[in-house]
């Protein structure tokens, strides 16, 4: 086994939805491997939540509260400016445009979850969310796969971000790179992030980060930590609505080699409204129960 855990950010009222995710994770994968689970929340979990969740899994569980400074909007944010921008997003119909708690979550997932004291002892993680589905038998241990092949990031779905949520993210990233060129990896995945040879603009591509199997030591690295702190100082998590998906994708796309990023093709997965359903022989081999016609992959 690898040094790994599941990481689940969830609220008490989401108990029925997370039970569904846990049952499918256990059935498809973890009944064989018994990796531990770490549940995180910005308030304490109830006894009922702990009893139910610990009862449906086959391994150790731990429950943690997120430190205040890792979750709430930091003091350096100008709330009047942030509120005006939220209101404008609501008027323009931007999804989660008016939500502060959604922004807290994006910032937490971008730069803090891997710093939680319950996660310090682990290197690899698999992010699981309430109400997701896992469609296939996962017989090969993805954590061991990452470790043995020196991969740092694994995904199942990639897509475009809403441009209105990340208007200055790429410009801010370019400023950081200009000041810190030493962090950019040779043979990186810039070609995934930009359609320009020189990386002038962001094409909005990102890995859909509600599913991630990745190496927390990459997020803990000097390059990514400095990058996150730079982004955080600029306030875009609150003045705009920078998501952890584009932030993680840009971070791994620039600071890791492209051969360290892996598409977990055999892992069937759904997070409403999209799913990755393995095709053909992989579908048969994995005993998958998703409809192959409903698949969000690029099909040349």
- Please write the tens of the pLDDT for every residue from 91-149: 999 999 999 999 999 999 999 999 999 999 999 999 999 999 999 999 999 999 999 99
Q: Omega before 273 cis (within 30°)?
A: yes
Q: How many other CB atoms are there within 10 angstroms of residue 90's CB atom?
A: 13
Phi, psi of 61 (to 5 degrees): -125, 145
Cβ contact 228:110 at 8 Å? yes
Per-residue pLDDT at 300: 46
Per-residue pLDDT at 133: 98
Q: How many other CB atoms are there within 10 angstroms of residue 182's CB atom?
A: 8
Cβ contact 215:153 at 8 Å? yes
Per-residue pLDDT at 297: 84
- The pair of structure tokens assigned to 105 is 């979550």
Provide the whole-model pTM. Answer: 0.96
- d(CA 155, CA 261) in angstroms, rounded, equals 8
Task: Report the candidate in 127, 96, 177, 135 with the shortest Cα–Cα distance to residue 6.
Answer: 127
Q: How high is the mean pLDDT in each 10-residue block of the chain (300 residues)?
A: 98 98 98 98 98 98 98 97 98 96 98 98 98 97 98 97 96 98 98 95 96 98 98 98 98 98 97 95 97 82
DSSP at 28: I
Per-residue pLDDT at 298: 66
Q: Which residues does the annotation mark as catalytic? A: 212
Q: Where are the beta strands (DSSP E) in 128-268?
A: 133-134, 153-155, 158-160, 205-207, 212-215, 261-263
Task: Report the candidate in 57, 61, 63 with the shortest Cα–Cα distance to residue 20.
Answer: 57
End-to-end Cα separation, the chain, in angstroms: 36
């Amino acid at each position: 086994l690898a040094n790994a855990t599941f990481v689940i950010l969830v609220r008490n009222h989401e108990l029925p939805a997370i039970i569904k995710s846990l049952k499918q994770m256990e059935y498809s994968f973890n009944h064989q491997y018994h990796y531990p689970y770490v549940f995180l929340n910005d308030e304490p979990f109830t006894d009922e939540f702990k009893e139910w969740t610990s009862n449906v899994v086959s391994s150790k569980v731990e429950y943690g509260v997120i430190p205040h400074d890792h979750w709430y909007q930091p003091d350096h944010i100008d709330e009047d400016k942030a509120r005006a921008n939220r209101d404008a997003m609501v008027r323009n119909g931007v999804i989660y445009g008016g939500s502060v708690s959604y922004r807290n979550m994006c910032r937490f997932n971008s730069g803090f979850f891997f710093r939680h004291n319950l996660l310090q002892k682990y290197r690899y993680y698999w992010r699981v969310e309430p109400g997701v589905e896992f469609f296939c038998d996962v017989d090969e241990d993805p954590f061991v796969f990452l470790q043995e092949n020196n991969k740092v990031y694994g995904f199942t779905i990639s897509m475009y971000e809403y441009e209105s949520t990340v208007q200055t993210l790429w410009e801010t990233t370019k400023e950081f790179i200009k000041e810190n060129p030493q962090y950019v990896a040779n043979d990186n995945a810039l070609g995934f992030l930009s359609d320009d040879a020189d990386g002038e603009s962001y094409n909005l591509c990102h890995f859909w980060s509600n599913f991630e199997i990745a190496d927390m030591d990459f997020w803990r690295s000097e390059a990514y930590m400095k990058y996150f702190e730079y982004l955080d100082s600029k306030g875009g998590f609150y003045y705009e609505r920078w998501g952890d998906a584009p932030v993680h994708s840009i971070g791994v796309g620039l600071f890791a080699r492209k051969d360290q990023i892996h598409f977990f093709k055999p892992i069937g997965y759904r997070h409403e409204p999209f799913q990755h359903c393995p095709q053909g022989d992989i579908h048969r081999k994995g005993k998958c129960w998703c409809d192959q016609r409903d698949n969000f992959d690029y099909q040349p």
